[in-house]
Amino acid sequence: MRRVLFVLVMLSLLCFPLVAGGTTEKTSSADRIAKADEGLDQQTKDFLEDKDFSNQTLVVGVWGGVIEDIIRETIVPSLEARGAKVELLLGGTGDRMAKIYVERNNPTMDICYLNLYECQQAMNDGVTEIPGNKIPAYDDLYPQAQIGGYGMSFMGLGIAYNPDFFDSPPEWKDLWKPEYKGKIGFPTYPGSEGEAFLAIAAILASGDEYNEEAGFQKLQELLPAPLFYTNLDELFMMMTKGDIVAAPVISGYAWTYLDKGMNVAFSWPTEVGTVKMMDVLTIVKNNKHPELADAWTQLALSPRTQKAYAERIYFGPTNSKVVLEGEVAERNVYGEKVDRLIDLDWLHIIDSRSERTLRWNKDVVEYR
């Protein structure tokens, strides 16, 4: 008898969590969606309404670091609450480009984050989708962000500098002052920063961004380079110590270092201008989870995600509905700064990249 009682008690104990679990799960699904969608705009909420992504896994190729953190906090939960699984392939753009090209007939990646300069090529090669207003937030994007995919954030290539050496924020031409020779940090090539720096030099020397001859000669005036920066820690350390007085740097990166207490400042040049930089979300053509990919894109462009980018890493919003204030607005490409950015002919730059790289290697890197 005691044994029977014992078995009954044990059974009921076992059943209790099952029953309880059953009921909580039902309520928690709606709760989880509500919790994950907290702070989301109405447009995105409507777009995601009644969506169920059970048994679907979205593969997203993207950069690691803080970007990954932001994505995991602002985009992933809303999709997971709707049953989706998300796999992030972290790494550099080059690896991702190679992957989507190789797999172009049978892609395994659904979303691929690229840079402004390669996204147009990928789209023209038919590897990524042409952007459009099947994503409601597309219509809210600034026209400058509707190129080559869905512009994710704006930044500007400006000048990071040590304020001890400049009375006022420098313009591009100030980098060529004789007293700074050998103290200007260089970006690497190929890459957005290096290519833009070459174009700026060409414009300064000849007024023509296509005149690479003039550009290379102008750049040589700055050599020897104290550093070709691949690592911003070192660049800003050398800048703080005065071994480098200034370098062309992307706005968002410079501001995050300013936050770390480095003795650096950032200038948005107005002569010639601050060069437009943009990271771009692309949807891989013929991907296996089109509906889920669209949902990701809408969430990425939604003010909630865009604001997190702007506040945490100073990647300026491409969605015109996003409102920024105070210091965050100042440090981001935002408001009238969006229209002041100068755009380069990236398709031309990409076409000449192979030859220019050889020239850069020989005339700039190997300069002794």
Partner 1 sequence: MKTKHVWALVMPALLLFVLIFLVPFLLLIVKSFQTYVPGTLISDSSFTWENYTQLFSDGYYFKIYYRTIRIAVISTLAVLVLSYPLSIFLSSMNAKVRGVFMTISILPMIGGAMIQTMGWFAMLMRYGTINSFLLGLHIIKDPIQFLGTELGVIIGLVQSFLPMMIYPLVSSLLAIDREIYDSARTLGARPPKIFFSVTIPLSAPGAMAGAILVFMACLTSFVTPSSLGQGKIQVFGTYAYQQAIQVMNWPFSSSYAIFFILSMGIVVLALNLLARGLRRKRCGSM
Q: Is 242 in the site for partner 1 (CB under 8 A)?
A: no
Q: Is 241 in the site for partner 1 (CB under 8 A)?
A: yes
Among 25, 46, 73, 95, binds partner 1 (CB under 8 A): 95
CA atoms of 273 and 333, how far apart (whole Å): 13
Q: How many alpha carbons fall within 13 Å on the CB side of residue 200?
A: 30
Q: Residue 167 CB, nearest distance to partner 1 (Å)? A: 26
In the numeric block, which tokens belong to residue 169? 């924020």
The candidate with the shortest Cα–Cα distance to 278, out of 341, 221, 320, is 341
Among 31, 69, 73, 125, binds partner 1 (CB under 8 A): 125
Question: In the stretch 131-170, what mask flags binding to partner 1 with x, by CB under 8 A?
Answer: ----------------------------------------
The candidate with the shortest Cα–Cα distance to 227, out of 183, 193, 257, is 183
The candidate with the shortest Cα–Cα distance to 289, out of 90, 86, 138, 125, is 86
CA atoms of 245 and 183, how far apart (whole Å): 6
Q: Residue 190 CB, nearest distance to partner 1 (Å)? A: 5
DSSP3 helix / strand / coil % (the chain, rounded to 5) = 50, 15, 35
Question: In the stretch 168-197, what mask flags binding to partner 1 with x, by CB under 8 A?
Answer: --------------------x-xx------
Among 19, 20, 34, 98, binds partner 1 (CB under 8 A): 98
Q: Specify the stretch interacting with partner 1 by CB under 8 A; choose among 4-12, 20-28, 228-236, 300-308.
A: 228-236
Among 89, 258, 342, 365, binds partner 1 (CB under 8 A): 365
Among 39, 64, 94, 132, binds partner 1 (CB under 8 A): 94
Q: Taking a C-beta distance cutoff of 8 angstroms, is the pair 271, 175 a contact?
A: no
Query: DSSP code of 210?
Result: T
Among 234, 271, 291, 343, binds partner 1 (CB under 8 A): 234
- Angle (CA) 155-332-345 rounded to 5° is 20
Q: Which is nearer to partner 1, 133 or 352 (CB)?
A: 352
Question: In the stretch 5-34, what mask flags binding to partner 1 with x, by CB under 8 A?
Answer: ------------------------------
Q: Residue 235 CB, nearest distance to partner 1 (Å)? A: 10
Number of shown-chain residues binding partner 1 (CB under 8 A): 35
The candidate with the shortest Cα–Cα distance to 160, out of 259, 263, 276, 270, is 263
Q: Specify the stretch interacting with partner 1 by CB under 8 A; choose among 15-23, 53-61, 213-221, 238-246.
A: 238-246
Chain positions 250 to 279 lying near partner 1, rule: CB under 8 A, are none
Q: Specify the stretch interacting with partner 1 by CB under 8 A; choose among 41-49, 169-177, 224-232, 255-263.
A: 224-232
The candidate with the shortest Cα–Cα distance to 195, out of 316, 360, 363, is 360
Among 238, 262, 278, 341, binds partner 1 (CB under 8 A): 238
Q: Which is nearer to partner 1, 42 or 354 (CB)?
A: 354
278 φ/ψ angles, rounded to the nearest 5 degrees: -155, 135
Q: Residue 348 CB, nearest distance to partner 1 (Å)? A: 9
Contacts of 182 (CB under 8 A, 6+ apart): 222, 223, 224, 225, 226
Q: Is 130 in the site for partner 1 (CB under 8 A)?
A: no
Chain positions 337 to 356 lying near partner 1, rule: CB under 8 A, are 347, 350-354
Among 229, 236, 257, 314, binds partner 1 (CB under 8 A): 229
Tally: H helices and E strands in the chain = 16, 8
State the DSSP string of 136-198.
GGGGGB-GGGSSSSEEEEEEEEEEEE-GGG-SSPPPGGGGG-GGGTT-B-B--SSSHHHHHHH
Other beta carbons less than 10 A from residue 208's beta carbon: 12
To which residue do tokens 């462009």 refer?
301
Residues near partner 1 (CB under 8 A) are 92, 94-95, 97-98, 101, 121-122, 124-125, 188, 190-191, 227-231, 234, 237-238, 241, 243, 347, 350-354, 357-358, 361-362, 365-366
